[in-house]
Amino acid sequence: MPPVPFMRPPDSDNSFEVGDTVEVFCDHEKGGQRIRGWLKGIVVQVDSKMVAVQFRSNVYLTDGWMVPDHILWYPLTSAHIRPVQRKQSKADLL
């Protein structure tokens, strides 16, 4: 596929790659209840504007429909997607 023409490269605070673990703010199931909050997922596709994230649990669209393939798409600049913050271990603090 030919590259997308632009005057200068788009600025991106987060660069995502396939296989990255991310957190997404979305409607999902937790403990048999439907909630809206942060959920971990895996990046399965990235293009010049969008990121596809797949989840192990059921996720829902804003209008209430369950997503059968458990994949949601987000713009690269969305505030609703972020890299997973790694917890610091005692070895990291020393």
Q: Give tens-digit pLDDT for 54-85.
A: 999 999 998 888 998 999 999 999 999 999 97
pLDDT given for residue 60 in this prediction: 93
Count of structural domains within the chain: 1
Q: What DSSP character marks residue 5? A: P
| 57 within some domain | yes
Residue 51 sits at the vertex; the CA angle it makes with 38 and 28, to the nearest 5 degrees, is 30
Residue 69 structural domain? 21-82
| 52 within some domain | yes
User: Per the confidence metrics, is the pTM higher than 0.85?
Assistant: no
| 8 within some domain | no
| 29 within some domain | yes
Average pLDDT, integer, range 32-54: 94
Q: Is residue 27 scored above 70 in pLDDT?
A: yes
Average pLDDT across the chain, whole number: 84
pLDDT given for residue 15 in this prediction: 82
| 10 within some domain | no
| 61 within some domain | yes
pLDDT higher at 91 or 33:
33
Average pLDDT, integer, range 21-36: 93
| 53 within some domain | yes
Count helices and strands (H / E) in the chain. 1, 6
| 5 within some domain | no
